[in-house]
Amino acid sequence: MTKTVVVTGAGGLIGRPLIWALADRGFKVIALDRDVVEFSHRNVQSYAAELTDIPRAHAILKSSNADALVHCGAISGPMVSNDNPFWICETNIRGTANLLEAARIHEVQRFIYCSSIAAYGPTAEGPIPEEYPLFPTNVYGASKAASEHLLAGYRYQHGLEGLALRIGWSMALDDGLHARFVKASRVD
């Protein structure tokens, strides 16, 4: 059966190519961003939705019967909204909380969160193990760590299958990251 995946941040660096990759692999994709992002692909339906708009999130998840949600929408990067840290919290933390709650209520099975290595804070050089403690040193990184903790709460308390990918700095969706997202979205 065709799986339906909701992707936020549809117009972004990561969301846009991911939507193409999922649609090309036969997923039905519901693409969300602030404004409608056009995808000329028969497997993609695009809608405008503010991340913090609670009724909108519920309406879309209720009608879509989605199997998975990939949350790419965010204020992305520690350098963005430097002068408005509250806006980072509002968008990244409250936006994630809104989608987690809508996913719980409308029984979306899996929630894939785009976290960041900024959630770690400063680290030693070389590969970073997953167990490395999160000690962010900017508001953006803190918003990513906070969202990961929310995801863990929904996972353990409410049974939502959640996973967070701590993405390094990327100007494009490379093949490795691509494959991980596609694999993570496959709800069998």
Ligand X SMILES: NC(=O)c1ccc[n+]([C@@H]2O[C@H](COP(=O)([O-])OP(=O)(O)OC[C@H]3O[C@@H](n4cnc5c(N)ncnc54)[C@H](O)[C@@H]3O)[C@@H](O)[C@H]2O)c1
Binding site for ligand X (CB under 6 A): 9, 11-15, 33-34, 50-51, 72-76, 91, 95, 114, 116, 167, 169-170
The burial of 9, by beta-carbon neighbours within 10 Å (0-12 exposed, 13-18 middle, 19 or more buried), is given as buried
In eight-state DSSP terms, residue 90 is: I
Least distance to ligand X, CB of residue 45, Å:
16
Q: In terms of CB distance, is 73 or 162 closer to ligand X?
A: 73
Kindly give the interhelix angle for 15-24 and 175-185, rounded to the nearest 10 degrees.
60
Q: In terms of CB distance, is 86 or 169 closer to ligand X?
A: 169
Q: Is 107 helix (H, G, I), strand (E, B) or coil?
A: coil
Q: In terms of CB distance, is 75 or 142 closer to ligand X?
A: 75
Least distance to ligand X, CB of residue 40, Å:
18
The number of C-alpha atoms within 13 Å of 48 and in the hemisphere containing its C-beta is 3
Q: In terms of CB distance, is 33 or 67 closer to ligand X?
A: 33
Among 73, 68, 72, which residue's Cα sits nearest to residue 27? 68
Q: In terms of CB distance, is 1 or 118 closer to ligand X?
A: 118
Least distance to ligand X, CB of residue 93, Å:
12
Position of minimal CB gap to ligand X: 12
Least distance to ligand X, CB of residue 118, Å:
7
How far is the C-alpha of 16 from the C-alpha of 95, rounded, in Å?
19
Least distance to ligand X, CB of residue 180, Å:
12
How far is the C-alpha of 116 from the C-alpha of 99, rounded, in Å?
18
How far is the C-alpha of 30 from the C-alpha of 26, rounded, in Å?
13
What are 17's two structure tokens? 């190519």
